[in-house]
Structure 1
């Protein structure tokens, strides 16, 4: 435990020092981009969050998973904060570093409903629903315009996720049911499955039976929207409009659980102490933990990495760990370069140079265009007084990116100092 705590304390300054959160006296968590959509016939803004290493030129700017976030104006700050905390801060690697693409609303009811309908869950007509039913066009916008735009800017990994709440959750389920190839991971929080007299819900059993969802994941979060005295068992037999929202979601849960052979990795959680408005925060947190279970190293594994008596082949150990997660995710997921590099730096500092060498070698193999990978290997050879090799790797690093500190170290080595 002491080694683990020291490991975290050692890494914390390294990680927080690279976080680009303050610019010109303002706290900045992302940037605004825009794209003209021919499909929607309008200009659309998107909010983009980049992990710290994406703006740090030491690291290769590619291979980040992309998370598409609906209702960005409501959830962007909380989701990006969670991702930063769980992937960058205090040495955390619960999640991979990822790019978040938030999509603010322009006409929420139009874009986030798959079909046109006029009535709410209780049967009452709502004038605001008259322009509903643009969900298929919105999905086409994401697939054919927004995704190619984002891919052209950031060269991401094939791993894509989408989060939506309420009507956004309905959109997530519509894409899963009718366009499952668009994302690997789907997070639907308190989705409005009551929409259009449960039309999408009624289409779901056939999709679950006829389509394959291998290596697709779905997390559904359910809020407590029931009246006093109700529970998730009693509400099933209720017929009032007030309970239709949760009844439809519980029906969805039953449909999916009845189709386990289609390959979908499914998790569902009910939040008794949260209502429709408060549930997104805790459900997003749980969903990210659930969908990325097995990504990060456990405390025991971290301790083993720093224990010279553990007898493990550290490079093989880490490579196999992330290969297991890759097999689960259905895409190649490389060990995070900054995390592996910082772990190597720690091992070098506590006089375990051969273990550090193994990690730096792993990074060079996975990120052959990375300044940081070669620079750290140069540091390793300098630490064991192999001047020739240190010069070789510092030179390789500087061929990728100029760096005053590395240039100074190389100059001193060549001068024999």
Structure 2
């Protein structure tokens, strides 16, 4: 309940990002991009994880979530990611940059072909804006990791599916929430059903969320025989789901979930939660009491194995995070697990030999165990790299004795 209140507070207490004072809680900023492709200004909402920059550590890079209907979903998605990546020590998903894309002409931008709606069919231009203007802008101005997730609901879900089909390499993970697959006489659905999802999709992930938009007297079995216009939305999604589940040759990593107790309007939040859990199922890492206290447990090997798993999941080499390893070393130090602490601090030295902080930290360990010679040696290394290092004062104190 406490965590739910925290998320709701984030979602409803920060609706105005302008005119902030030091007492305000700020979770992002508004930017305007002048789009030559669309010949208009486009408003985006951007969230970057707190402490993305720290004087002791190298600039971190973060995966990026691109979110359609940004004004509607930005705050809730940021809240979810904060909860799953940070609160209570959670590592269920990574800390991520979130880019919410505001609408100007929703029907135009989120429909890939001309259909029954006026001003429809501008989806190709819109995706050109995202590919050629928005993504390069975000990559140039923010600390991005080359791993992108694309989330869309309703017509936004249709856009997600169209992008997966026609530009699969633009994103790594796709989340289609109750997508409007009925659009234009199921034109996109028909194309998908002739696709094989071959080797190109080997490292791609799709999560499909399905809301309950049926009448009370129907279920997911009987509705397939219905022909009325009122059920065309869910029938088309169930048809998509069946095809993707039954396709034997697909390389795409796929999961779907039907939300019996959620309708078209309520389904995004819970589907986004489940999607993040599925996409980043490789990300969770949890140490137990035995890992800290049992001398037989090789903690360094465990940390390195985890980051190897992260590297495989992201498709990019991910070194053990300097800040995380540093904090782990101090936890062990504070629990008098001196040998394990030394091993962990040495792991940081191996991965970040250019960092003044790694030598300062292991110097603290040697001070704690009374090894003055090694403490001085490492504090000197720290000061050599950065003359403003905390080690300078410690070194002066030690050399006075």
TM-score relative to the length of structure 1: 0.84
Q: Structure 1 residues 170, 361: closer, same or farther in 2, change over 3 A?
A: farther
Given candidates 307, 317, 325, the residue that maps to 2:302 is 317
Unaligned runs of 5+ in 2: 1-16
Aligned to 1:9: none
Contact 1:53–1:338 at 8 Å: present in 2 too? no
Q: For the aligned residues, what is the CA RMSD?
A: 2.5
Measured against aligned partners, the alpha-carbon deviations of 1:115-147 in whole angstroms (never above 9, x if no partner) come to 1112xxxxxxxxxx3212111111111111111
- Pick the aligned partner of 1:189 from 167, 177, 200: 177
Alignment equivalent of 1:34, drawn from 21, 25, 32: 32
Residue 324 of structure 2 aligns with which residue?
Answer: 339
Equivalent position SS for 1:306: helix
Larger RCO of the pair (alpha carbons < 8 Å, separation 6+): 1
Determine helix, strand or coil for the equivalent of 1:117: coil
Q: Matches of residues 62-101 of structure 1 in structure 2 within 5 Å? A: 62-101=60-99
Q: Does 1:217 align with 2:214?
A: no
> Equivalent residues in 2 for 1:8-407 (5 A)?
24-118=22-116, 129-210=117-198, 212-298=200-286, 301-309=287-295, 311-367=296-352, 372-391=357-376, 393-394=378-379, 406-407=391-392
How much does 1:27 deviate?
0.7
CA distance 1:314–1:61, shift in 2 (3 Å): same
Unmatched 5+ residue regions in structure 1?
A: 1-20, 119-128
**CA displacement 1:3-56 (0-9 Å, x = unmatched):** xxxxxxxxxxxxxxxxxx996111101122232221111222221111123043
Question: Does 51-60 or 280-289 show the bigger shift?
Answer: 51-60
Counterparts in 2 of 1:401 and 1:115: CA distance versus 1, 3 Å: farther
Cα distance per residue 1:270-322 (max 9 Å; x no partner): 11111111111111111111111131124xx433422324x232122121122
Contact 1:295 1:322 in 2 (8 A): no
Does structure 2 retain, via aligned residues, the 8 Å contact 1:97–1:336? no
Structure 2 Cα separation of the partners of residues 396 and 109 of structure 1 = 60
Secondary structure at 1:218 match in 2: strand
Cα distance, 1:209 vs. partner?
A: 4.5
* C-alpha separation in 1, matches of 2:314 and 2:366: 36
Q: Return the offset for 1:208.
A: 3.0
Describe the SS at the equivalent of 2:43.
strand
Closer/same/farther in 2, CA of residues 103 and 294 from structure 1, 3 Å limit? same
Kindly provide the CA deviation profile for residues 247-278 of structure 1, in whole angstroms up to 9, marking residues without a partner as x: 11111111212224332111111111111111
Question: Do the aligned partners of residues 393 and 262 (structure 1) sit closer, same or farther apart at CA in structure 2, a change above 3 Å counting?
Answer: farther
